[in-house]
């Protein structure tokens, strides 16, 4: 595939921290990791408190004086950014959050560090109360074992302890959710920025679809004008020569040639129609339509199809054209001896992979797959091309099925 290439689309954003306290995933290991991260957060909150205390003592007067305020604020923010870097590392390691490339403003950094310090210290207090409650529970159990408590005192202590334990645990969960929201607000784009990005993606996708439709129309017109139309003109000329022929043998030869030409015209017209939209998708499904692509290709094409259940029509159409365009390019440009097509569904993603053993070297900026890029982008899919010089070439499309 040296003439065409597909750009890479990555519509799937990096994972944001969840509002749930266990946003890193379930299981005992995840809960232990989260508990360790929360305890470390208490220590980093103490570091933040010390930083604000020391920085306030050293820079407070300079922050009040207008002539030195900008410089003092810059120094304050520099130290705050280093502490927020530690917080980002803590969220990534212990909670497995992945944040997009986003540089928070100075105001966001200071607001986050102040809020995180307050929340972390409050979490330390709540955790300390929980430990204190466990110690009291141990003393209560000891008193019960020694029979030094009456049943009225025991009932009162159990009810009061249960209520306090419930409130303590709920407080820890709420503080863990607050920690996640604070991290998302600082390290990830806010809701407005996410909305603006999504609007930009939709606008780009719409423009790509419009370009793809125009490109497809031009290609159909070119195929009809340069291919089918020229063959029909040649067929008309053969029939005219046959009608004017005086020798019966010559007329039969011309009619035989015209009959052959009509068959080739029908085959080319059928090929043009398949490139516009394969009717086999509606009648037979994606698997049989891909089998038709393999039969029409001049190269040996092996299709591995591992999909259970129906697929959305838009996904089937995009998958078909990914395979059809890639196989056609491999046959025309790559010098390949064989092509392997694999289609598999995992969860809500349909993965289509076309691999050929050609010479590679496809140009990632080529325009031959512009229509294909538009189709994949229109359904929020991802298209990736790997074609090193010397081969092989692999085209991979991930299409969401939801």
- pLDDT tens digit string along 184-220? 888 876 667 778 877 887 787 777 767 766 766 777 7
Residue 319 CA to residue 361 CA, distance in Å, equals 23
- pLDDT tens digit string along 176-187? 999 988 988 888
**Average pLDDT for 167-174:** 90
Closest CA to 38 of 111, 104, 87: 87
**Average pLDDT for 365-379:** 72
Query: CA angle at residue 354 from 349 to 359, to 5 degrees?
Result: 145
Type and span of the H or E element at 36: helix 28-64
Most confident of the ranges 123-127, 216-220, 232-236, 280-284: 123-127
CB–CB of 38/51 below 8 Å? no
**Please, which residues bridge with residue 353 across strands?**
342, 396
List, in sequence order, the alpha helices (H) in 146-228: 151-187, 191-223
Q: Which of 97-106, 154-163, 234-243, 363-372 has the lowest mean pLDDT?
A: 363-372
Q: Residue 396: what are its φ and ψ, rounded to 5°?
A: -125, 130
Query: CA angle at residue 271 from 259 to 230, to 5 degrees?
Result: 55
**Average pLDDT for 85-101:** 87
Give helix 106-145 / helix 28-64 axis angle, nearest 10°.
130
pLDDT at 346: 87
Q: How distant is the alpha carbon of residue 190 from its chain centre?
A: 19
pTM, full prediction:
0.52
User: Is 37's pLDDT higher than 70?
Assistant: yes
């Amino acid at each position: 595939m040296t003439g065409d290439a597909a750009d890479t689309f990555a519509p799937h954003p990096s994972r944001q921290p969840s509002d749930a306290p266990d946003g890193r995933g379930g299981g005992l290991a995840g809960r232990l990791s989260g508990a360790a991260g929360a305890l470390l957060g208490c220590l980093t909150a103490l570091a933040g408190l010390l930083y604000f205390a020391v920085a306030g003592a050293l820079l407070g007067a300079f922050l009040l004086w207008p002539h030195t305020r900008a410089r003092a604020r810059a120094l304050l923010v520099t130290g705050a950014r280093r502490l927020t870097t530690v917080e980002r590392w803590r969220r990534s390691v212990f909670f497995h959050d992945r944040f997009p490339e986003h540089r928070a403003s100075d105001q966001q950094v200071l607001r986050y560090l102040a809020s995180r310090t307050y929340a972390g210290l409050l979490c330390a207090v709540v955790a300390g109360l929980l430990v204190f409650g466990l110690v009291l529970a141990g003393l209560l159990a000891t008193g019960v074992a020694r029979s030094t408590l009456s049943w009225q005192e025991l009932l009162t202590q159990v009810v009061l302890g249960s209520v306090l334990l419930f409130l303590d645990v709920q407080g820890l969960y709420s503080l863990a959710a607050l920690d996640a929201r604070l991290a998302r607000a600082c390290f990830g784009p806010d809701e407005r920025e996410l909305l603006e990005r999504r609007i930009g993606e939709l606008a780009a996708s719409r423009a790509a679809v419009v370009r793809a439709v125009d490109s497809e129309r031009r290609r159909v017109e070119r195929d009809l004008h340069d291919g089918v139309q020229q063959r029909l003109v040649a067929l008309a000329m053969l029939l005219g020569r046959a009608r004017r022929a005086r020798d019966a043998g010559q007329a039969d030869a011309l009619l035989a040639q015209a009959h052959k030409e009509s068959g080739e015209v029908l085959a080319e017209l059928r090929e043009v129609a398949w490139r516009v939209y394969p009717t086999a998708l509606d009648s037979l499904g994606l698997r049989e339509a891909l089998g038709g692509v393999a039969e029409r290709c001049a190269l040996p094409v092996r299709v591995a199809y591992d999909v259970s259940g129906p697929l959305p029509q838009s996904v089937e159409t995009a998958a078909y054209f990914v395979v059809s365009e890639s196989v056609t390019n491999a046959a025309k440009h790559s010098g390949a001896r064989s092509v392997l097509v694999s289609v598999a569904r995992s969860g809500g993603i349909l993965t289509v992979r076309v691999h050929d053993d050609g010479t590679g070297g496809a140009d990632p900026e080529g325009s031959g797959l512009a229509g294909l890029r538009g189709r994949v982008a229109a359904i929020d899919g991802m298209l990736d091309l790997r074609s090193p010089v010397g081969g092989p070439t692999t085209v991979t499309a991930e299409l969401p099925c939801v």
